[in-house]
Structure formats: structure tokens, C-alpha cells
Amino acid sequence: MEYFKYLFQILCIAILFPTAMSLIYSINSPVASSQTKPYIPVETRTYTVNQQRNNDQSTFDFDDDIKRSWSKGIDRLKVSTTDYLQFNYFETNKITQKMGDEEATSFNDTLLESFISVRKKGDLVPVVLMNRELSKSILVFQENEGKGGFVGIFMSVDSSTGKKKWQLDSIENL
């Protein structure tokens, strides 16, 4: 009888231990947490990472060609950009920090899906314009390593359901 008792305990440990370990691992896994990495497009222009100066300054130093491209793209927009804040694509977390979790997820998903749908190999890093009310956003980038045309992705918040959900309004060649 004692033999069966020990055999039962060993079987319980053999079954429960892996289950408990996988549960503990999933709780501590970075995938299960809210720490997600921003999407970094493949084959974009080179940039160098500087030491972070402070939270208000960019941690990315883009070359002059990309900065000139952003200026040209913004100039081609058919909207007044005086009420828009400018962010490079890798710093959209500064925008989403000012939003609730659901709205931030909606913004990131809409931005990423829209960008992926039109992006091609060799397109430059986009600039993101966000109005001060956090209700409209424009993503602008130049195609073909700075030799092609400009693309504008226009997004806005749809609050008709009571929740702030981002939607794609249009994708335009500028």
C-alpha cells in the first residue's frame, strides 16, 4: 500500500511540475507583458542611435537626406501643419503614452497595418504628424530611397461607439 502512495506522489509531481513551470514562465514572459517593441521596417535608411539626452529629444539621429525628405513631404500636404506635432516613426511611443491602453493599441495597429500595406523595399523612414487633440494623424514618407514620390497616410479617431478607435481615412500620393 505504501508503494502505491509513493508512486501516486511521483506521478502527481511528474504531471504538475511541467504545468506549473510553464504557467510561471508565461507570467514572466515579456510577450505576456505590455512591453512591446515598436515595428522597425526592414531595409530602411541607416540611422545611428545616440545616447539619450532627455525625454524631449530624439534618441535617433537621421541623416540630412531623410530630414530634407520629411520637410518636402510635409510641404506637399494639403493641410495646415501648424497644429501638428512631429515625431519620427520610431518614437510613436511618445504619442501613445498620452492615450489610454485601448486607444494606443488601436492607433499602433492602424498605423502599422496602413504603413505595411503601401511600403516597399527602399522606402525612407516616415515622419508622423499628430494634432494636439490626439484625434488626427498623418504619416508621410518618400519612396525609392528618396528618389520616388511621397505617400501620405491619413488617420483619425472614430468615437461614435463611445470608445476611441483609430481608423484609416485615406492613403494618398502627394
Q: What is the pLDDT of residues 1-35, one digit of tens each?
A: 676 666 666 755 666 556 655 555 555 544 444 45
pLDDT given at position 106 = 93
pLDDT at 22: 57
What per-residue confidence (pLDDT) applies to 70? Answer: 87
Q: Which residues of the chain have pLDDT under 70?
A: 1, 3-9, 11-63
Query: In terms of DSSP H, where are the helices of 29-126?
Result: 64-76, 93-96, 101-118
User: What stretch of H or E contains 155?
Assistant: strand 150-158
**Residue-level pLDDT at 167:** 95
Question: What's the whole-model pTM score?
Answer: 0.63
CA atoms within 13 A on the CB side of 164: 18
Output the pLDDT for position 32: 44
HSE toward the beta carbon, residue 128, CA cutoff 13 A: 24
Do residues 150 and 132 make contact, with C-beta atoms less than 8 angstroms apart? no
Inter-residue contact 166 to 130 (CB < 8 Å): no
3-state secondary structure at position 156: strand
Amino acid residing at 162: G
User: What contacts 130, CB < 8 A, 6 or more positions away?
Assistant: 84, 85, 87, 95, 136, 137
pLDDT of residue 162: 80
